[in-house]
């Protein structure tokens, strides 16, 4: 019998397996690309539901990271000064100022999940932020080829600039400082399952789908 606390884990794993199958099956790829916004929102809902502690701090944290992630991407895509010269495709859905509204959700999911993973190691503030930023840069390294192929975004020069990874590191470092500073429930096993599922998903697409 599946325990109630494991249901979010099963949903996360199932959706990533089904999603991987859809992306790797040519007849289904266009459909599953359209489902990406729904998938991101569902994963966010699962994280917030399983990690919510009735504290206003988790809401404040989520709002800060979402807005910071979205506005940094707005600045990045419209000035090319942060990550390099790039533009968003249609996969991530509705845009404001040339930037998908859901890109802030992506930042929130990654920062929250990685922060929860690192919390158990009791690192000091700067080691915590540095380690988290390194992990997010690694994840972005996995995401980039997939994102370009499936129209999440594209790079004007056709290659991913080093500036992108430097930008990801700096932005991530600052967000992890926020995570470290704020007081809310920082135990959520679903977030670790999601982080592992995402890494496996993008690694598989890099091997078989790009």
Do the strands 153-155 and 99-100 form a parallel or antiparallel pair, or are they unpaired?
Answer: unpaired
- Answer positive or negative: Cα dihedral of 105, 190, 137, 36: negative
Residue 54 has pLDDT above 80, yes or no: no
Greater confidence, 158 or 198? 198
User: In angstroms, rounded to a whole number, what is the distance separating the alpha carbons of residues 31 and 21?
Assistant: 12
pLDDT of residue 49: 86
User: In angstroms, rounded to a whole number, what is the distance separating the alpha carbons of residues 59 and 80?
Assistant: 30
Q: pLDDT-based confidence at 2, cuts 50/70/90? A: low
Structure letter (DSSP) for residue 109: H
* pLDDT-wise least confident of 53-57, 59-63, 178-182: 53-57
Residue 81, φ and ψ in degrees, nearest 5: -90, -20
Q: Over range 69-98, report the average pLDDT.
A: 97
pLDDT of residue 129: 98
Residue 154, φ and ψ in degrees, nearest 5: -145, 155
Q: Over range 26-45, report the average pLDDT.
A: 97
H or E segment to which residue 202 belongs: helix 189-208
Report pLDDT digits (tens) over 3-25.
Answer: 777 899 999 999 999 999 999 99
Residue 1 has pLDDT above 60, yes or no: no
Tokens of 78: 């419209």
- Answer positive or negative: Cα dihedral of 47, 53, 54, 60: negative
pLDDT of residue 52: 77
Report pLDDT digits (tens) over 106-133.
Answer: 999 999 999 999 999 999 999 999 999 9
Report pLDDT digits (tens) over 161-210.
Answer: 999 999 999 999 999 999 999 999 999 999 999 999 999 999 999 999 87
pLDDT of residue 4: 73
């Amino acid at each position: 019998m599946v325990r109630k606390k494991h249901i979010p884990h099963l949903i996360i794993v199932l959706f990533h397996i089904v999603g991987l199958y859809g992306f790797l099956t040519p007849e289904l790829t266009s459909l599953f690309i359209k489902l990406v916004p729904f998938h991101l929102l569902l994963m966010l809902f699962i994280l917030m539901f399983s990690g919510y502690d009735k504290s206003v701090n988790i809401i404040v944290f989520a709002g800060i990271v979402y807005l910071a992630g979205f506005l940094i991407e707005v600045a990045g895509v419209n000035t090319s000064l942060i990550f390099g010269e790039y533009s968003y495709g249609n996969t991530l859905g509705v845009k404001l100022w040339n930037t998908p509204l859901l890109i802030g959700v992506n930042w929130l999911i990654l920062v929250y999940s990685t922060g929860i993973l690192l919390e158990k190691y009791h690192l000091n503030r700067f080691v915590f932020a540095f380690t988290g930023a390194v992990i997010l840069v690694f994840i972005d390294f996995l995401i980039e080829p997939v994102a370009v192929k499936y129209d999440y975004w594209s790079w004007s020069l056709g290659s991913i600039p080093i500036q992108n990874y430097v930008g990801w590191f700096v932005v991530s470092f600052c967000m992890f400082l926020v995570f470290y500073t704020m007081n809310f429930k920082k135990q959520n096993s679903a977030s670790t399952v999601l982080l592992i599922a995402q890494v496996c998903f993008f690694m598989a697409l890099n091997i078989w789908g790009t």
